A and B are shown apart, each in its own frame.
Chain A
Amino acid sequence: MSLLAIILAMLAAGVVAWASERFHANAPRYVSLLAFIVGLVWAAAEWLMGADPRGLYAVQFIEWIPRFGINVTLSMDGLSMMMVALTMFLGIIAVVSSWDEIEERSGFFQFNILWVMAGVVGVFTAMDLFLFFFFWEVMLIPMYFLIAIWGHEARAHAAMKFFLFTQVSGLLMLFAILALVWAHHSASGEITFAYHRLLDAEIDSRIGFWLMLGFFAAFATKLPAVPVHTWLPDAHTQAPTAGSVILAGILLKTGAYGLIRFAVPLFPEASEAFATPAMVLGAASVLYGGLMAYSQSDFKRLVAYSSIAHMGFILLGVYAFNEWGMQGAIVTMIAHGFSTAALFMMAGALQHRLHTREMSKMGGLWVRAPRMGVMTLFFVVASVGMPGLGNFIGEFLALLGAFQKNVPLTVAAAVGIVVAAVYGLSLMQRSFQGEPNPDVATMRDFGGREMSVMVLMMIGLIWVGVYPQPVLDMAAPFIDAMLAPMATLPDIPLAEATITEAGLHR
């Protein structure tokens, strides 16, 4: 099946889900769930069939507006493949986690979920800048609706904030795209939005720097990095569970993906010149996000701020300009997708049961719901960066890479490891441990449906933590190709020869 067909099918499934509401109240959920399962199966099938010699799992080209060099160019290499598979997987999680949460207008709700995810798949596969921007916008509107319609008490404000931040930063990226195309045109006489053509564009380095900033602004806002992060806690806290799962699990990753796919390869010199400020923002996000997470008393808001801290590691890794850092960023994208989605699902489950997110109204919940306690513990431990689980691999590699580039900033970010322990364990303590809160006499524990998705995410994290090589191998071709011309890999001072002399080959 072609990539465009998949995206169109998801859009169509959205319409079907909306329409099916009139036949049965449950129908939209099943349509949506089925769509994501089919999507995941399709991704798995593409993966099993293997990549073509160029390393692409799927590729498609349709002429769209030839006059301006705009085409529907979609392709899926290992990196895109992983992100698309993660999208489908988290789609399933999102649907299941909001299974009995959304009663009102559930058809339109599923429509929005499917349309966001269709946009996301487009973002991860578009190899034409115009098309990319198109999908970037497609993601935005349904997400706005998800927050504004099904959100909690302050949803209107949060939705508007989310919309404005994304829109303004997106506008900067649009300017940068247009200016890039124009600059390429004046240099070569060719008008094209094709990613692979623009990669070779010869651009004056001063202009290039500003264009890079345009892209960076959009992606850093989406990521988000300090100081453009403040939309995220509001959006997360107010969004319905499925919205938070999608937002944290996958929408933030489009920012990271954008940096890796577009901002850095399109402007390698400018990006490298910008490496230190970007890493400063990364380290600041790690520390400030962590501190802010510790400050919160709202379960969901705490998890939201912790996302900012985790995304800081991605920024550090990407701008380390070496394979360790890049791979660390990518592993973090995947692992954080699992761990945060699970924690937001937990937040949603708690709110659904207790009608509050305030941790002062929780406490001792382990006694009431031991399964939820164990699961929270597991995902908190994962997000604290315990070796053997996925997040550790990502953060360790990101820091390892960053250390080669900038020692002081790596040291600063490493302090974030301690901060993560502080807020993670405090979350655990305030919600599940301590003397049971007398106001919560009973609480329904997780049932089979919830446990099964939790266990799936557990398995994902353990797999990435114990044997991350498949993930690393999938991303390697693109990263190698990206880093090769830059040749900034610091050479390891001791050559193979020394080791042989030492007689240590075994």
Chain B
Amino acid sequence: MSGMDLLWLVPAAPLAGFLILFMLHDWLPKAVAAMVGAGSVGVSAAAALLVGMDYYEAGAQPTWQLLWTWMSVAGFDPAIRLYLDGLSLAMTSVITGVGFLIHVYATGYMWNDHEEPRGFARFFAYMNLFVFAMLMLVLGDNLLVLFLGWEGVGLCSYLLIGFHHRDPANGYAARKAFVVTRVGDTFMALGLFLMFRELGTIEIQESLTLANSEWGGGDTTMAFIIGMLLLGGAVGKSAQVPLQTWLPDAMAGPTPVSALIHAATMVTAGVYLIARMHDIFLISPEAQLAVAVVGLVTLFIASFTALVQTDIKRVLAFSTMSQIGYMFFALGVGAWSAAIFHLMTHAFFKALLFLSAGSVILALHHEQDIFKMGGLWRKLPIPFASMLIGSICLAALPFTSGFFSKDVIMLTAFEHANHGLLFWGGAAIAAFMTALYTTRMMIIVFFGEQRTEAHDESRINMWGPLLALCALSLLGGWFGFGVVSGVLPDGGLGEFPHAFGIAIATMVVPLLGVGVGLLAFGWRVIDVEALADSAAGGALKRFFFSGWGFDWLYDNIVVKPVTWVARINKGDIVDWIYRITVAITRGAHHVGSLTQSGRLRWYAANMAFGLALFLLIVLGVIG
């Protein structure tokens, strides 16, 4: 038996973990639940490692493993089949590897959960179900299997955001996340229907080959529509403009959830989808351009928003949004491998950032306001060090993992045929902002005077994963690129004719951001408070803070009208048809019953009148 045969075990292990925890959650002791919860993902990661080693030993040839045919109806016969190539392997390694570290961390983080003391096993049940669904998403060889994972991760996201269900705000955030992403899912489902109608299949590899032979070089309208519908799904799941509004609220979930679902894995599903279906976007350059624009707009908006947030997790949420914007942008400008590369490095350093933020939050007894932190670097050395490492990667300082991946993206963007300078410029501004807000966050949280008492009680199961992620964040950039090469259409690190000057500029921009950040928030040479207090500055700050008013907009054009209609039509207007019918019938009944007066004269008069009428009719007919 070769390691490749273990492919099924990769998703099966977390599924088994879920089933055990779900069915026995009332009876399992915490320690057992922790072992099952983290252990199942560990088994999955080990299996993925074996599979991956075998895959490269066997010459990196894509392979399949058929489990069963889901259904078969008149030529629609999606199979539950796992597909392994460089792309799905890269995703699988991130999901199981980073997933395992986060699970281990969570055994510590959730151990003394005051809000939901009996929910420990249930928490890990949901987490394991999430890992299973995410693995089905990336391993499925059929868009319907991918959709199964796609909806499954959405469900788990809902369950985990609202895990502390006693607070209605968490429930609201959870529902918002589910419903907004479902808008995207609906686009995606329509894309599937259209694809099946046009190509007769939704098998991924088969449909891509068919799409190339059908539309390549010819009429690309269908490819464009399908591409846009898939993009619709992707922006929902990956929190890109215009369906990005759910992600900041999703921070209501426990921090390991934010790290796993809303930073490292689920939110990158959209990136995976577009990379997986890249042929469609190559056929239709307009669709690909749309991907780039979505990415650029998002990374721009989100990086400005992150600058003015006061909640540490919301800073990171907007940062995630903007980093995924980079990935979309990369896909859009044709830096396919770089997008996946950035997905991986981002998974490392953003998971690290979230987990170290989690340690800070825990040490401060669930305080998340950065302005109530301060001066923590001495008290919390491990979270400080790991957050610092995460931050320099996020800011893409030279030779960190974030630098390597972002560098390729920016340089490829500059080479873009039509909009090179615009694209590079936009991304560079956002890169500057990234370095700036990261510096601001670090300074406010860890330096200055201490405002809240801190007790770091974390044990090895919490700082162990932090150290592992530190190593991955720092070193991931040196080996990561090879993993995805050969799967996606670019040849990896391509030739960049204008490389030298622009490469230097790309390298300097983040340093500039850090510099300005230090001047403004560290040494206070630039007076940001005066800026924020000025009328225009204050208005701008509020505008940025609100996430550029998207929530307000959707509230007024969708939520309020619908709730209004729902409220006034609770009694069902259609029923009035029948109520009026009943009223008329009743009325007629009353009129009719008036004739039953019981008076002889009335009856006699009626009879005479009726008889006369009858005679008249008869005469009329005869005459």
A-to-B contact residues, CB < 8 Å:
161, 226-227, 229-230, 233, 288, 291-292, 294-297, 322-324, 327, 364, 366-367, 370, 381, 386-388, 392-393, 396-397, 399-400, 403-404, 410-411, 414-415, 417-418, 421-422, 425-426, 429, 432-436, 466-469, 472, 489-490, 492-494, 498-499, 501-502, 504, 506
Q: Chain B 112-133, CB within 8 Å of chain A: the 1/0 string?
A: 0000000000000000000000
Contact A294 B566 (CB under 8 A): yes
User: Which listed residue (A227, A392, A490) contacts B574, Cβ 8 A?
Assistant: A227
CB distance from A298 to the nearest CB of B (A): 10
Q: Are A399 and B574 in contact (CB under 8 A)?
A: no
Listed by A's residue number, 26 A-B pairs whose Cβ atoms lie within 8 Å are A227-B577, A230-B574, A233-B572, A295-B566, A296-B570, A323-B73, A367-B166, A387-B148, A387-B152, A392-B151, A397-B76, A417-B185, A418-B179, A425-B178, A429-B172, A432-B165, A433-B166, A433-B171, A434-B167, A435-B166, A469-B71, A472-B71, A492-B75, A494-B214, A498-B213, A499-B201
* In the complex, chain B residues whose CB is within 8 Å of the CB of A415: 186
Binds A, one of B187-195, B379-387, B463-471, B600-608: B187-195
Tell whether, in the assembled complex, residue A295 and residue B569 are in contact, meaning their CB atoms are under 8 Å apart. yes
CB distance from A359 to the nearest CB of B (A): 13
* A366–B165 CB distance below 8 A: yes
Contact A489 B74 (CB under 8 A): yes
**What are the 9 closest A-B residue pairs judged by CB atoms, nearest first?**
A492-B200, A323-B74, A403-B193, A387-B148, A295-B566, A230-B575, A433-B165, A295-B570, A434-B168
> Which residues of chain B are near A494, meaning CB under 8 Å?
199-200, 210, 214
In the complex, B64 has a CB within 8 A of chain A: yes
B529 within 8 A of partner (CB):
no
The answer to whether B151 and A387 have CB atoms under 8 Å apart is yes
Q: Which residues of B contact A324 (CB under 8 A)?
A: 73-74, 76
With A367-B166, A502-B213 as contacts: A291 and B565 at CB distance below 8 Å: yes
B76 touches A400 (CB 8 A): yes
Measured in the bound complex, the distance between the Cα atoms of B79 and A467 in whole Å is 11
Contacts A230-B572, A494-B214, A504-B206 given: A425-B567 contact, CB under 8 Å? no
User: For the complex, what is the distance from the CA of A434 to the CA of B569, rounded to whole Å?
Assistant: 26
Q: Are A381 and B186 in contact (CB under 8 A)?
A: no
Contact with A along B138-158 (1 / 0, CB 8 A): 000000100110011001001
Cα distance, A414 to B183, chains bound together (Å): 10
A468 surroundings in chain B (CB, below 8 A): 70-71
Choose among B196, B201, B210, B562 the residue that contacts A400 (Cβ–Cβ < 8 A).
Answer: B196
CA of A472 to CA of B71, assembled, Å:
8
Assuming the contacts A417-B182, A493-B198, asked whether A397 and B73 have C-beta atoms less than 8 A apart, the reply is: yes
Q: A379: shortest Cβ distance to chain B, in Å?
A: 14
Cross-chain contact of A418 among B158, B182, B210 (Cβ < 8 A): B182
**B75 / chain A contacts, CB cutoff of 8 Å:** 492
Distance A171 CA – B211 CA, assembled complex (angstroms): 53
- Are B151 and A386 in contact (CB-based, < 8 A)? yes
Q: What's the Cα separation between A399 and B210 when bound, in Å? A: 23
Out of A226, A229, A421, A433, which one reaches B182, CB within 8 Å? A421
**Which residues on A sit within 8 Å (CB–CB) of B175?**
421-422, 425-426, 429
Task: Enumerate chain A residues within 8 angstroms of B578, measured Cβ to Cβ.
Answer: 161, 230
Report yes or no: B197 in contact with A292, Cβ–Cβ below 8 A.
no
Closest Cβ of chain A: how far from B378's Cβ, in Å?
39
Kindly state the separation between the CA atoms of A226 and B575 in the bound complex, as whole angstroms: 10
| A contact face: mostly helix, strand, loop, or mixed | helix
Q: Are B567 and A295 in contact (CB under 8 A)?
A: yes
- A435 touching B168 in the complex, CB below 8 Å, given contacts A421-B179, A472-B73, A494-B214: yes
Against A, the Cβ 8 Å flags (1 = close, 0 = not) of B208-243 are 011001100000000000000000000000000000
CA distance A233 to B571 in the complex (A): 10
Q: Which residue of A lies closest to B189 (CB)?
A: A414
Which residues on B sit within 8 Å (CB–CB) of A297? Answer: 570
- The complex places the Cα of A230 from the Cα of B578 at a distance, in Å, of 8
In the bound complex, residues from chain B placing their C-beta under 8 Å from that of A410 are 190, 193
A288→B155 CA distance, assembly (Å):
25
Known: A294-B566, A417-B185. A327 touches B73 (CB 8 A): yes
Enumerate chain B interface residues (CB-CB to A < 8 A): 26, 64, 68-76, 144, 147-148, 151-152, 155, 158, 162, 165-168, 171-172, 174-175, 178-179, 182-183, 185-186, 189-190, 192-194, 196-201, 205-206, 209-210, 213-214, 562, 565-567, 569-570, 572, 574-575, 577-578
Residue of B nearest to A475 (CB): B73
Number of inter-chain CB pairs below 8 Å: 149
Q: Flag if B565 contacts A388 (CB, 8 Å).
A: no
Q: How far is the CB of A376 from chain B (nearest CB, A)?
A: 12
Given contacts A400-B196, A429-B175, contact A226 B574 (CB under 8 A): yes
Complex CA–CA separation, A397 to B202 (angstroms) = 13
Further contacts, 16 of them, CB under 8 A, given A295-B566, A404-B197, A418-B183: A227-B574, A229-B574, A295-B567, A295-B569, A323-B74, A392-B151, A397-B73, A399-B193, A400-B192, A403-B196, A403-B197, A411-B190, A421-B175, A436-B166, A468-B70, A490-B197
User: B165 contacts which chain A residues (CB < 8 A)?
Assistant: 366, 432-434
What residues of chain B lie closer than 8 Å to A291, measured between beta carbons?
562, 565-566, 569
Name A429's contact: one of B148, B168, B205, B566 (CB within 8 Å): B168
- Contact partners of A433 in chain B: CB under 8 A: 162, 165-166, 168, 171
Within 8 Å by CB of B178, from A327, A392, A421, A490, lies A421
A76 to chain B, nearest CB (A): 22
The answer on a CB contact under 8 Å between B569 and A499 is no
Distance between Cα atoms of A390 and B168 in the complex (Å):
30
| Contacts A227-B574, A386-B155, A397-B73; A292 near B569 (Cβ below 8 A) | yes
Q: Which residues of chain B come closer than 8 Å to A397, judged between CB atoms?
A: 73, 76
* Distance of A417 Cα from B233 Cα, bound (Å): 14
* Contact residues in A for B577 (Cβ distance below 8 Å): 227, 230
| Chain B residues in 8 Å Cβ range of A327 | 73
Instruction: Please give, as numbers and ranges, the residues of chain A lying within 8 Å of B179 by CB-CB distance.
Output: 418, 421-422, 425
Please determine whether B171 and A429 come into contact, CB atoms closer than 8 angstroms: yes
Contacts of B199 in A (CB 8 A): 493-494
CA distance A414 to B196 in the complex (A): 16
Are the CB atoms of B155 and A393 closer together than 8 Å? no
Chain A residues near B162: list those with CB within 8 A: 433
- Name the B residues within 8 Å of A364 (CB-CB): 166
User: Which residues from B are CB-within-8-Å of A295?
Assistant: 566-567, 569-570
* Cα-based distance from A499 to B213 in the complex (angstroms): 10
Question: B73 — which chain A residues lie within 8 A by C-beta?
Answer: 323-324, 327, 397, 472
Question: Which residues of chain B are near A387, meaning CB under 8 Å?
Answer: 144, 147-148, 151-152
Do the beta carbons of A388 and B574 come within 8 Å of each other?
no
Is the pair B71, A386 in contact by a Cβ cutoff of 8 Å? no
Query: CA–CA, A403 to B185, complex, Å?
Result: 16
Docked Cα-Cα span, A433 to B567, in Å, equals: 22
Provided the pairs A230-B572, A399-B189 are in contact, do residues A434 and B209 lie with their beta carbons within 8 angstroms?
A: no
Contact A425 B570 (CB under 8 A): no
Least CB distance, A421 to chain B, in whole angstroms: 5
Residue of B nearest to A402 (CB): B193
Chain A residues closer than 8 Å to B193, beta-carbon distance: 399-400, 403, 410
Measured between C-beta atoms, what is the minimum distance from B516 to chain A in Å? 43
Shortest Cβ distance from B21 into chain A, in angstroms? Answer: 12
- Please report the C-alpha to C-alpha distance between residue A15 and residue B541 in the assembled complex, in whole angstroms: 77
Considering only CB atoms, which chain A residue lies closest to B148 in the complex?
A387
Contacts of B197 in A (CB 8 A): 403-404, 490
Give Cα distance in the complex from A388 to B148, angstroms: 7
Min CB–CB distance A357 → chain B (angstroms): 14
A75 → chain B closest CB, angstroms = 24
Docked Cα-Cα span, A493 to B172, in Å, equals 45
Within the complex, which residue of B144, B189, B572 is in contact with A417, where a contact is CB–CB below 8 Å? B189
Instruction: Give the complex CA separation of A142 and B147 in angstroms.
Output: 44
CA distance A414 to B144 in the complex (A): 16
Bound-complex Cα distance A468 to B76 (A):
13
- Chain B residues near A393 (CB, 8 Å)? 71
A254 to chain B, nearest CB (A): 22
User: Can you name the residue of chain B whose Cβ is closest to the Cβ of A429?
Assistant: B171
